[in-house]
């Protein structure tokens, strides 16, 4: 069988590993539009901050592709897909036939329309090349502005601060990490940022870029403030790289639609990772969860089904883990529901100690969690979300720091005992 995988990050790599656990025979060709063989995108901010060396970005052995018997073709962007002939063409004219295809093309940084291209010092943080460009500018820059207060924006801001730059974050919403956490947790994070001398300008947008000789010298906000800076990081989120399927009959909404086997509407074509829409356990809708962990799980499932193993995906839970200004933060699912009346919230907070915990319940089932400052046993709570467990018997104990695996045993949850014996 000829397997073609487009994409060489979390989902593509997980698919390769899954395929090779059971199938050493099939030919695997993997394409990437980047020039680097394999690195972890999530580690880029650590590399930018100088916490780790460039070598440590490599998250598998140097001979990974050789050992996995994968022909990796770098610097090739797949631009044409013929679903009938099962044929892919790349930008350099090379072409590939496949029996099974995995589309794991990932996502790209969203670029705000009002920011002109080609100005030195205006960057995104997405690929290794992006980081190398940012590092060039860090050498001479004194001030940096980060546009966007999401996960990438926060990681970028903390990394730049670590590099010694004066750093400001511009966010359109009322608070940072508004997609990931609620107001209470966000306030604590906001204060931690300030203590680390990262200033956050909320309900603000950048209206204009100031440059001299195509080099950034400052930004102007819609509040009329002018911030001199030599570096601007655009962190306004990502959009899925679905260009390849645009002229095909493969169904998509925002991302490529998939079934529980990560199969698209075409039986020999699979999709996984940031480009794919999969069932979300907490929202009970199909959505993109552009997250490392989800991409790995989906890539694994796609890989197994490509070789006919028939393993279904339980569904995604949006989850993030972040260590921000020395405060560990983990969140899952729906943390600040829009229609609050249908949900029950449990909150425990110690703002002075930077501790904030919240559980969001609906019909006695956990739909979302925020853990700030105290994250041990977080995964035990996640398992309750994933199993859609009725937690009414121990609801009052969920926020206790001592809530652990043994609690579930104590409440007679037979499935966890099975887990203990079998796993």
Residues β-bridged to residue 221: 206
Q: How far is the CB of 355 from another protein (least distance, A)?
A: 14
Residue 116 or 410: the one with the smaller Cβ distance to another protein is 410
Q: Nearest distance from residue 43's CB to another protein, in Å?
A: 6
93: Cβ contacts below 8 Å, ≥ 6 apart: none
**Angle at 413 (CA atoms; ends 408, 415), nearest 5 degrees:** 115
In the complex with another protein, which residue's Cβ is closer, 80 or 376?
376
Q: How far apart are CA 358 and CA 353, in angstroms?
A: 16
Is the Cβ of residue 286 or residue 300 nearer to another protein in the bound state? Answer: 300
- Which CB, 222 or 397, lies closer to another protein? 397
The least CB distance from residue 92 to another protein, in Å, is: 30
Task: Kindly tell me which of 205 and 261 has the beta carbon lying closer to another protein.
Answer: 261
Q: Which residues bind another protein (CB under 8 A)?
A: 14, 40, 42-43, 46, 51-52, 56, 58-60, 292-293, 296-297, 300, 319-323, 328, 330, 332, 375-380, 382-383, 393-394, 397, 402, 404-407, 409-412, 416-417, 419-423
- Least CB distance to another protein at residue 368 (A): 14
φ, ψ of residue 241 in degrees (nearest 5)? -85, 80
Helical packing angle, 292-306 and 10-22, nearest 10°: 40
124, with CB counted inside 10 A (0-12, 13-18, 19+), is buried
Structure tokens at 288: 């993109």
Q: Which is nearer to another protein, 124 or 384 (CB)?
A: 384
How near is the Cβ of 161 to another protein at its closest, in Å? 17
Tell which residue, 162, 155, 320, 322, has the closest CA to residue 233.
155
Three-state SS at 217: strand
Q: Considering the complex, what minimum distance in angstroms separates the CB of residue 95 from another protein? A: 32
Tell me the CB-side half-sphere exposure of residue 76, using CA atoms within 13 A: 22
Q: Closer to another protein at the Cβ: 340 or 410?
A: 410
* Cβ atoms of residues 349 and 357 within 8 Å: yes
Return phi, psi of residue 344, to 5°: -115, 135
How far apart are the two ends of the chain, measured CA to CA in Å? 32
**Distance of closest approach, residue 87 Cβ to another protein, in angstroms:** 32
């Amino acid at each position: 069988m000829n397997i073609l995988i487009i994409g060489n990050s979390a989902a593509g790599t997980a698919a390769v590993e899954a395929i090779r656990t059971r199938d050493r025979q099939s030919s695997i060709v993997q394409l990437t539009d980047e020039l680097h063989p394999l690195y972890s995108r999530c580690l880029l901010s650590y590399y930018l901050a100088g916490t780790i060396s460039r070598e440590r970005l490599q998250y598998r052995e140097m001979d990974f592709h050789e050992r996995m018997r994968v022909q990796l073709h770098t610097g090739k962007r797949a631009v044409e897909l013929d679903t009938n002939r099962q044929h892919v063409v790349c930008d350099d004219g090379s072409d590939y036939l496949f029996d099974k295809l995995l589309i794991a093309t990932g996502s790209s940084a969203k670029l705000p329309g009002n920011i002109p291209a080609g100005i030195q010092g205006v960057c995104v943080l997405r690929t290794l090349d992006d980081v190398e460009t940012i590092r060039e500018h860090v050498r001479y820059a004194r001030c940096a502005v980060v546009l966007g207060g999401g996960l990438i924006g926060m990681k970028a801001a903390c990394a730049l601060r670590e590099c010694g730059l004066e750093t400001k974050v511009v966010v359109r919403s009322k608070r940072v990490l508004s997609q990931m956490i609620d107001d209470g947790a966000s306030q604590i994070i906001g204060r931690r940022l300030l203590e680390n001398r990262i200033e956050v300008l909320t309900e603000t947008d950048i209206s204009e870029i100031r440059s001299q000789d195509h080099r950034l010298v400052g930004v102007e906000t819609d509040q009329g403030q002018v911030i001199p800076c030599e570096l601007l990081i655009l962190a306004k989120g990502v959009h899925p790289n679905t260009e390849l399927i645009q002229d095909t009959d493969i169904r998509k909404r925002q991302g490529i639609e998939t079934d529980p086997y990560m199969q698209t509407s075409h039986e020999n074509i699979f999709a996984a990772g940031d480009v794919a829409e999969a069932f979300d356990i907490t929202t009970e809708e199909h959505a993109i969860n552009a997250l490392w962990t989800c991409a790995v799980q989906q890539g694994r499932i796609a890989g197994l089904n490509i070789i006919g193993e028939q393993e279904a995906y339980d569904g995604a839970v949006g989850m993030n883990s972040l260590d921000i200004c020395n405060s560990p933060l983990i969140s899952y699912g729906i943390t600040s529901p829009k229609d609050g009346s249908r949900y029950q919230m449990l909150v425990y907070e110690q703002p002075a100690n930077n501790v904030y915990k919240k559980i969001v319940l609906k019909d006695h089932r956990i739909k979302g969690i925020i853990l700030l400052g105290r994250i041990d046993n977080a995964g035990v709570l996640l398992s309750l979300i994933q199993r859609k467990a009725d937690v009414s018997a121990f609801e009052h104990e969920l926020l206790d720091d001592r809530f652990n695996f043994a609690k579930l045993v104590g409440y007679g949850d037979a499935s966890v005992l099975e887990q203990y014996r079998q796993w």
